[in-house]
Amino acid sequence: MTITWLQAALLGIMSCLAASTIAVLGTTVGNYTLNRPLIASVFVGLILGDVEGCITIAIPMQIIYIALVTPGGTVAADLRAVSYIGIPLAYVTAKSQGLDLASPEAQGIAGALGALVGTVGTVQFYGTAMMNLIWQHIGWARLDKKDFSILGKVEVFLPLISHFFISFIPVMLIVYYGADAVGNFQEALPMDSWYMKAIFTLGNLLPAVGIAILLKSVVTKMADLIFFVFGFTLAASMGLTLIAATAVGAVFALVNYQMTMIKLRAGTAGAADDEEDI
Amino acid sequence: MKKLSKKALNSSFWRWFYGNLTCFSHEHMQTFAYMWSMLPLIQELYETKDEQAEKLQTYYPFFNTEPQIGSIVVGITAGLEEARANGAEEIDDEMINGIRAGLMGPLAGIGDSLIVGTYIPVLLGVALGLSEGGSIIGPMFYIVVWNVTSIWFQKFIYNKGYELGGSAVEVIVGEQATALRESVIVMGQVIVGAMAASWVNITTSVVLTTAADRVLDEATGEYIVQEKDVLLQASLDGAFPKMLTMLFVLLCWWLMAKKNISPIKVMLLMVVLAFVGVFIGFFDPGLSY
Judge whether B33 is closer than 8 Å to chain A, CB to CB. Answer: yes
Question: CB distance A215–B192 less than 8 Å?
Answer: yes
pLDDT tens for each residue of A67-124 = 655 544 455 567 888 899 999 999 998 888 888 888 888 888 888 788 778 778 878 8
Burial B13-26, CB ≥16 within 10 A → b, else e = bbbbbbbbbbbbbe
Phi and psi for B211 in degrees, rounded to 5? -90, 140
Contact of A110 with A73, CB cutoff 8 Å: no
Residue positions counted in chain A: 278
pLDDT tens for each residue of A150-184 = 999 999 999 999 999 999 999 999 999 988 877 66
Residues of A with Cβ-Cβ distance to B29 under 8 angstroms: 73
**Radius of gyration, CA atoms only, chain B:** 29
Q: How far is B40 from chain A (nearest CA, A)?
A: 10
d(CA B158, CA B72): 4
A258 pLDDT higher than 60: yes
Q: Of B118, B242, B256, which has the smallest distance from its Cβ to A218's Cβ?
A: B118
ipTM: 0.82
d(CA B49, CA B53): 6
Residues of A with Cβ-Cβ distance to B186 under 8 angstroms: 227, 249, 252-253, 256
For residue B251, the chain A residue with the least C-alpha distance is A212
Question: CB distance A73–B154 less than 8 Å?
Answer: no
Under DSSP, is residue B16 helix (H, G, I), strand (E, B) or coil? Answer: helix
**pLDDT (mean) for B223-228:** 73
Most confident residue range from B31-45, B81-95, B190-204: B31-45
Residue B113 parent element (H or E)? none
pLDDT tens for each residue of B162-191 = 998 878 877 777 788 888 888 888 988 998
In this prediction, residue A257 has a pLDDT band, given cuts at 50, 70 and 90, of very high
d(CA B105, CA B103): 6
Question: CB distance A55–B139 less than 8 Å?
Answer: yes
CB-neighbour burial class of residue A267 (10 A; exposed 0-12, middle 13-18, buried 19+): exposed
Dihedral sign for Cα atoms in the order B233, B236, B242, B245: negative
B249 pLDDT higher than 70: yes
Contact of A34 with A23, CB cutoff 8 Å: yes
